Amino acid sequence: MSNTLLRIYPSELKMPFELKKQNSGCMELVNKTDQHVAFKVKTTNPRKYSVRPTTGVVPPRGSCVITVSMQAPKEIPADYHCKDKFLVQSVVVKERTSLKDIHPDMFSKEPGKIVEEFKMRVIYIPANPPSPVPEEEEEEEEEEDEEIASIDSDMDYEYKPPSIFDAVSDDIAACLV
């Protein structure tokens, strides 16, 4: 089912993973409507994750950032595979609805009541990717690149070899604590 109330970004929660260290990730909820929308975030593993805020009201065309903190893992799962999931439930509410007005019954499915649900799986990513150590062949390529760079030194640009960090999304990096 396509969500008509909230756009949730990213569609998968990429959680930095590092042994014996607590890490955080975030998601953004964007209200796609001209109405107030209440939300509730649930997880399949509440002892492992802390979610702030777990509930709230997103104003019309507004947004809310949710921070998810993972307890420090004690062991590495096989293939870094994670079975944990999050569920974001959303429902239209009255304009003056406040945080104290939000209760579990608001998100119960009843005939004639629209409660949207968005399921999000957790994907572990390395918290601190290892520094690349050049192989012998790569070292030769770097020497060639340096020679080319020195030949073109009278040009108006600076050669910069690609970095493995160029592929990291600025949005996700900004959410990490």
SS3 state of residue 148: helix
pLDDT at 78: 78
110 Cβ neighbours under 8 A, 6+ residues apart:
none
Assign domain 6-128+170-175 to its CATH superfamily: Immunoglobulins (2.60.40.10)
Give the range among 118-127, 143-152, 155-164 with minimum mean pLDDT. 155-164
Mean of pLDDT values over 42-64: 97
Closest CA to 16 of 168, 170, 169, 124: 124
pLDDT at 152: 46
pLDDT at 155: 44
pLDDT at 76: 83
Say yes or no to pLDDT of 86 above 90. yes
CATH 2.60.40.10 spans which residues of the chain?
Answer: 6-128+170-175
pLDDT at 162: 47
- What pLDDT band is residue 33 in, cutting at 50, 70 and 90? very high
pLDDT at 81: 87
Token pair for residue 13? Answer: 């929660």
Where residue 99 falls (left for φ over 0; alpha for ψ -120 to 50; beta otherwise) is alpha
Q: Which residues pair with 24 in a beta bridge?
A: 69
Mean of pLDDT values over 138-166: 49
pLDDT at 173: 42
Token pair for residue 94? Answer: 């009255």
Give the range among 13-27, 33-47, 67-81, 120-134 with minimum mean pLDDT. 120-134
Tell me the residue ranges of DSSP E strands in 6-84.
6-9, 13-17, 23-31, 36-43, 49-52, 55-58, 63-70
Mean of pLDDT values over 131-137: 59
The amino acid occupying position 11 is: S
The amino acid occupying position 47 is: R
- What pLDDT band is residue 175 in, cutting at 50, 70 and 90? very low
Token pair for residue 103? Answer: 């209760």
Cis check: omega of the bond before 10, within 30 degrees of 0:
yes
pLDDT at 126: 85
Say yes or no to pLDDT of 95 above 70. yes
The verdict on pTM exceeding 0.75 is no
How far from 108 is each of 88, 105, 151, 153, CA to CA, in Å? 13, 5, 69, 67
- The overall average pLDDT reported for the chain is 81
